[in-house]
Amino acid sequence: VIGDRALADRAEVVASLGAAIIRALQAGSVAACGKHFPGHGDTSVDSHEALPIVQHERRRLDAVELVPFARAVRERVATIMTAHVMVPAIDEHHVASFSPAIVGVLKSTLGFDGVVISDDLGMKAVSATTPLPDAAVAAPTARRKIQELARPTSSGTASQR
């Protein structure tokens, strides 16, 4: 789903390029954001439309999906955005954005101490099953500090306000 929005198709290359971007942005006093934790590139469903499931075992997640995030943490990235995906290998009951277990991997396992941001709570991966007030309460419960909500315009596209 991420497709050509990804920096590369190999985790090590993504990690290296991402690290360079983080260093450049933050050297210029811009808070960089790693996204979409714990990985969204290897799904076929767009979370704007439905809830994707990352069907990999934990070994694969550690070896591929989490590699760029581990590097971003070592580079002291300021923020990381969670993905609206299900990752049964880590938490089979909660969407990543609302999962204390998944945020625990980011904070405890990878050692991230920056700001965790949810992706847009209005995306159908969340809004199709969770009313906005419930989503807004669930995100901080998962140790999230900032929630995002993009408002639709009359054309139906998202507009940041």
For the beta carbon of residue 107, count every other beta carbon within 10 angstroms.
17
Exactly one of 42, 46, 48, 62 is catalytic; name it. 48
Exactly one of 36, 91, 94, 119 is catalytic; name it. 119
Q: Residue 40 catalytic?
A: no
Burial group, residue 29, by CB count within 10 angstroms (0-12, 13-18, 19+): exposed
Q: Residue 120 catalytic?
A: no
Burial group, residue 116, by CB count within 10 angstroms (0-12, 13-18, 19+): buried
Residues designated as active site: 48, 119
